[in-house]
Structure 1
Amino acid sequence: MSNDDDDDDDHVACPFQCLSQEARELYLESHISRIPVPSPLVFYRDYVSRNRPVIIQGALDQWSALSKWNTLNYFRDQLGDTPVTIDITPDGYGDCVKLHKYFVTPVEEKMPFNHFMDIIEGKKSFDGIVYCQHQNSSFTTEFQQLNNDIHELGWVREAFVPWFDHTENDLQEQTYLNPLKITVEPNELLYLPSLWFHSVEQDSPITIACNFWYDMEYDIKWNYYQFMSNIIKQQRKSEKKRT
């Protein structure tokens, strides 16, 4: 048997490892670049169209939030007892996979913002780890007093509009995955493309982040994603039948 045949057998034996290796060699990078604010064309050409993440430095220079959000008293003054949605988890992991098969979401409660801040600052005890967030544009609906402190980035919208009308332990157990670790500093923006699985950790007691969401393009990337998802589902069904 030729060496080429041996290589083919290896690829068939471990298709996920082969996919991971070829993706690293042909497409993925070993780190995420940091760049100054790009033009809409450069952003779309080099990152959006190639589905590559990037950190953009100085992207938020025009946000008054950079100076106003430096003190917690500002938030108390602006929001007071405004009801906000609080997510509660026992371990800090929300929207994640548990026991390798259950996708769990946090418990959600409404509470006055000042009450939430008392918990964060240790003035009141609370059973569980809390964070203030809610899906589907909570910033514009629950934090309207802060809306003028930030604004959508025009060069990002211009880049999209013309062309477009798991936990860490789980990842480490999959040898064919190669997670990248990055730290996003103040006044930096992380562009995270569609279909990039991710988790977020904070290294300080209080962290504030704002997200802007744009519709993905359902192109060949979506086809591959669905293809891989169906393969994994079929593989799991086969494993259950064997056991």
Structure 2
Amino acid sequence: MKEIEALWRDVRELSLGNSVRIEKLESPPTPLQFLRDFISPNKPCIVSNAINHWPALSSWTHDDYLTQAISSTHVSVHLTPNGRADAIVPFNNNQAESPPLQCFASAHVELMPFAEALSLITSSSSESSSNLKVVAYAQQQNDCFRSEYSELGSDCDPHIPWASEALGCLPEAVNLWIGNHHSQTSFHKDHYENLYAVISGEKHFLLLPPTDVHRLYIRNFPAAYYSYSRETKEFTLELEKPTRYVPWCSVNPYPSPESKESEMSKFPLYFNGPEPFEFTVKAGEILYLPSMWFHHVRQSPDDRGRTIAVNYWYDMQFDIKYAYFNFLQSIHCRSNLKATLHDNQCEDSDSGF
């Protein structure tokens, strides 16, 4: 275990620095600079003044513009009771003698007119957590910006030129995200190079490098899904049949005051290890999120109650870094505080923000 703890420190000291902040560029890098300083060392950064020319920065602040531009389109909206989709949540198995089963819960996805979706997102933004009935998040991760939202395509660049040249390809997918402060994304990683541009509101990130994999306590959880009834306005959570298991990160980095001591005891590698990189991406900025970095995301809305972002997923290179990560992940380790990992620790699934 001491050797792995030394690796966490060495990675930060040699390539990331000892600060919990990440590098911020005041202008777009050249393709060579981006490749040399960030892609090759698998190092995140924030880039300012790279999308100032996008019409979206001004036009998307007006709901009338958005609803008129997408007036004839139905879009996919993810619905949850609390804003936590693709996350580990308790499942009531009606067995009083034991704690609730933990499961991996996916959102209820519904197609609806865009105007209705936007109204649902902004209306739930004004609700307090105790009064929430439904949290809506437009976050379909299937190249939705170029399909469901194609009418808005001219408001953004089709790709990030300096990133495309450095990576040697065009984006595999471009996605649009519209949500509010109730929605958050649990710790996970993606097998993509991610260029994430915030249009309105702010995104708050926690990042951990791939070498910190043991600190996230990846375990297999039974897959479940929410079903939502428009008539009763209630959710039910159902386990998939046949049973399917999803490997996912167990750590909630923001436990409630009541559960904090218990969470810290269960996951000491996370809470007692090096601080995660913590920062905010503001409107008009791009985050470069390297492949296989673990990330947790929260958001703050604009004055209309929503946060909007566009991200570009570029295929990652399955090179020596991927081999190193798989080898490291295969090592079972135990902390000095008697934290144990699941016997079946394995790769976690991809998800979004």
Q: Taking structure 2 as the reference length, what is the TM-score of the superposition?
A: 0.57
RMSD, matched Cα = 2.8
Contact persistence 1:171–1:177 (CA under 8 A): no
Give the Å deviation of 1:90: 2.3
Q: Which residue of 1 aligns with 2:286?
A: 189
The alpha carbon displacement at 1:98 in A equals: 4.1
* Aligned twin of 1:42: 33
CA distance in 2, matches of 1:121, 1:195: 32
**TM-fit CA distance, 1:68:** 1.1
- Answer yes or no: is 1:149 the counterpart of 2:155: yes
Query: d(CA) in 1 for partners of 2:58 and 2:341?
Result: 52
1:77, CA displacement in angstroms?
0.9
- CA deviation after TM superposition for structure 1 residue 225, in Å: 1.7
Q: Does 1:228 align with 2:346?
A: no
- Give the number of the structure whose residues are more often strand, by fraction: 2
- Find the counterpart in structure 1 of residue 276 from structure 2: 179
SS in 2 for 1:58: coil
Q: Secondary structure at the match of 1:183?
A: strand
Deviation at 1:103, TM superposition (A): 3.4
CA contact (8 A) 1:81 1:112 kept: yes
Structure 2 match to 1:121? 122
The more displaced of 102-111 and 146-155 is 102-111
The answer to whether residue 142 in structure 2 is matched with residue 136 in structure 1 is yes
Q: Which residue of 2 aligns with 1:94?
A: 85
CA distance in 1, matches of 2:315, 2:327: 21
Amino acid in the other structure paired with 1:198: H
Q: Is the 8 A contact 2:121 2:135 kept in 1?
A: no
Q: Return the offset for 1:93.
A: 2.2
> Structure 1 residues 228 and 94 mapped into 2: Cα distance closer, same or farther (>3 Å)?
farther
Q: Is the contact between residue 47 and residue 54 of structure 1 (CA under 8 Å) also seen in structure 2?
A: yes
Q: What's the offset of the Cα at 1:191?
A: 0.5
Question: Secondary structure of the residue that 1:63 maps to in structure 2?
Answer: coil
Partner residue in 2 for 1:200: 297
Deviations 1:12-56 (A, max 9, x none): x44442322222222223211111111111111111111100101
1:121 Cα offset (Å): 3.3
Query: Which of 1, 10, 13 is residue 25 of structure 1 equivalent to?
Result: 13
The residue matched to 1:223 in structure 2 has which SS? Answer: helix
Unaligned 5+ segments in structure 1 are: 1-12
- The residue type equivalent to 1:86 in the other structure is V
Q: Within 5 Å, give how 1:199-218 maps onto structure 2.
A: 199-204=296-301, 205-218=305-318
What is the TM-score with the length of structure 1 in the denominator? 0.81
More helix by share: 1
- Give the share of equivalent positions with the same residue, in percent: 34
Q: Which protein shows a greater Rg?
A: 1
Structure 1 residue 203: Cα displacement? 1.2
- Describe the superposition over 1:40-89 as per-residue Cα deviations: whole angstroms up to 9, x where unpaired: 11111111111100101111022111121121111111112521000112
Structure 2 residue identity aligned to 1:203: S
Structure 2: tracts of 5 or more residues without a match: 91-100, 170-185, 188-205, 207-250, 255-266, 334-339, 346-353
Residues 9 and 274 of structure 2 are in contact (CA less than 8 Å); yes or no, is this contact kept in structure 1? Answer: no
The 3-state SS of whatever aligns with 1:121 is helix
Residues 193-227 of structure 1 show CA distances to partners (whole Å, capped at 9, x for unaligned) of 00111122111230110000111111221112212
- Give 3-state SS (helix, strand or coil) of 2:104's partner: strand
Check whether the contact 1:16–1:176 (CA below 8 A) recurs between aligned residues: no
Quick one: structure 1 residues 89 and 45, their matched pair in 2 at CA, closer, same or farther if it must change by over 3 Å?
Answer: same
